Chains A and B, each alone.
Chain A
Amino acid sequence: MRVLALVKRIFQQMMRDKRALALMMIAPLLILTLLDYLLSSNEVTPRLGVHHTDESLIEQLENMDVTVRQYDELSNIQPVIIDDDLDGFLSMEGENIQFTLKNANPSTAKALKMKVQQAVAAENAKEQANKLSLFIREIQDKVPGGLNKLEQAKAPVIDTAYIYGNKDTTFFDQLSPILVGYFVFFFVFLISGIALLRERTTGTLDRLLATPIQRRDIVFGYLLGYGLFAIIQTIIVVFYAVKILDIMLVGSLWNVIMINLTIALVALSLGILLSAFANSEFQMMQFIPIAIIPQIFFAGIFPVDGMADWLQFIAKGMPMYYAGNALVDVMYKGLGLSDIMVDLLVLLGFALVFIILNIITLKKYRKI
């Protein structure tokens, strides 16, 4: 009964606080939309200046989505690259190839370097092949009676199959499940943590503890009250991501919602736990770089398997590691409930530990 009274009050307060409500419900959508546009926008076509270069190589490069601009005269490469806003410059003096990269943006530079290398290698191979067949023809002409015809080696065609995703999968497709979970985590943490903090700093927590309410009722009231909003937020974020942004969802939508609700529960219990160790909203903010931001690094954006042992050890202590794992499993790989069970159970374990710690921490304010 007392839990319900608390839930009702939280509901009333939240409905009055339009900004907090907007932060929880709309902010994640804005960020997701922005990221969607940023990460799935087409790659930039690199611009390459060339000098003394074969027509066929230029053709190769243009087929690879490189904008090629030819220069006849060439004095100093560096100012040309900068003035004409090129990403690189290729000049050939006979066998000598001089390749200059601007490297203003390392990822563009890398892509261009790869393309140039491929094109040069392909060009080289074609030349080799031509020379070889010429050579063979000459030998055949000289040998009386002729040799058996040499079979021309055909360039192998690689037929690529994908277990997860397809050839159009972008980085965002793999990232988005993690981001959906992370935003739920972040905003639920922030709002529930600050709410309990305010309860403490305005003295109402003390006042509350001068009534016959039990400590665990306060914790459950908060979990349930903010949990309701977290559920609404989760559903809005997940539906928006899947139905409107058209984020890849191979597995079941219900599993996604279930994972996110578990994340919300962890965030809620962590938020109200940490708020006990903050004396102001600002101190609550100080937990964000310590407890919240690092979580995203271990959520699967960078492959955890490749990390140093001690980093992997840290990763396993982070709720978002399991959450990211489960979300990628369902949304990207299309796995089912049995595959994410362990992750879900670990997350619930986190929540349980935080809830118990919460009940203990409140002892600071009333001994019974």
Chain B
Amino acid sequence: MASTIVIKDVCKSFGKKTVLNNISLTVESGQIYGLIGPSGSGKTTLVKLIVGMDRPSQGDIQVLDTPVPNLNLLQKIGYMAQADALYTDLTGEENLSFFASLFKLNKKDQKERISYAANLVNLTPHLKKRVQDYSGGMKRRLSLAVALIQDPQVLILDEPTVGIDPELRQSIWAEIHRLKASGKTILVTTHVMDEAEKCDRLAMVRDGEVLTSGTPAELKERYNITSLEEVFLKAGGNKG
């Protein structure tokens, strides 16, 4: 299997503050890779570097064998930001069609993708509503739909299920697995440990460093405990 995302010795600092310290990790093609870590550990910063919105202070990042940042690469990456970035004065459908037209999609594909993505996140009945009248969860779902709009090979989802009820969360994870089955590579950040269980591989991030990584089972075995939550506490505790 080819590696989809390769991160090598990446450091990132804002001014004097070092936010990421020597991060290296590899996401293989077709994996669901989970980044877990407490608030402020640097997950979002790392994700933005992978998308190419910022440059690392040191180190290299490659996605699909292309050095980041690269404009053409963005066609193949679906990004869901942690904070909903939607045009609240437009309807859900207008948001989707705006983002769709920023990617190379013909009119017919655009229509299909919009209805597919809206359907996936159960927003079809609300497409004509303005986003300012959406609930928090609905906005989250619309953000996910926007990330999927161009049928990207790589999905980067920054805390995709925050504010989404358990039922819908289940269905979103089911869809993430379906996307994986169709050959996509998915990088997810999360706080929620039971979501971490659903990943193929995990990296635990704390204070800008990868504490440990491996499959959920490996991690549990390594620390000799049954729940990932404990792994998290233990790994962090070892350090501090």
Contacts and interface: CB of A to CB of B under 8 A. Distances in A.
A210 B89 contact: no
A17 interface: yes
B130 to A, nearest CB: 8
B81 A16 contact: no
A366 B53 contact: yes
Contacts of A2: 101-102
Interface string B59-82: 000000000011110110101010
A212 interface: yes
Interface stretch (A5-13, A99-107, A312-320): A5-13
B113 to A, nearest CB: 14
Nearest to A215: B71
A150 B185 CA distance: 114
Contacts of B79: 207, 210
B85 A368 contact: no
B86 interface: yes
Contact of A367 (B55, B77, B102): B55
Contacts of B70: 368
A203 B55 contact: no
A16 B89 CA distance: 7
Interface in A298-330: none
Contacts of A1: 101
Given A13-B87, A13-B90, A368-B70, A211 B102 contact: yes
A207 B103 CA distance: 13
B236 interface: no
Interface in A92-133: none
B103 A212 contact: yes
Given A9-B94, A366-B52, A207 B89 contact: no
A140 interface: no
A212 B99 CA distance: 10
Contacts of B83: 203
Nearest to B73: A212
Contacts of B84: 203
Nearest to A2: B102
Interface string A208-237: 111111100000000000000000000000
A17 B88 CA distance: 12
Interface string B94-129: 100011011110000000000000000000000000
A188 B69 CA distance: 34
A213 B69 contact: no
A212 B53 contact: no
B144 interface: no
A78 interface: no
Contacts of A212: 71-72, 74-75, 102-104
A204 interface: yes
B51 interface: yes
Contacts of B94: 9, 12
A166 interface: no
11 contacts: A5-B101, A9-B90, A12-B90, A203-B81, A206-B53, A206-B85, A211-B102, A212-B104, A366-B69, A367-B55, A368-B70
Interface of B: 51-55, 69-72, 74-75, 77, 79, 81, 83-90, 94, 98-99, 101-104, 146
Interface of A: 1-2, 4-5, 8-9, 12-13, 16-17, 202-204, 206-214, 365-368
10 nearest A-B residue pairs (beta carbon) = A207-B85, A203-B85, A5-B101, A212-B74, A211-B102, A210-B79, A204-B85, A368-B69, A9-B98, A212-B75
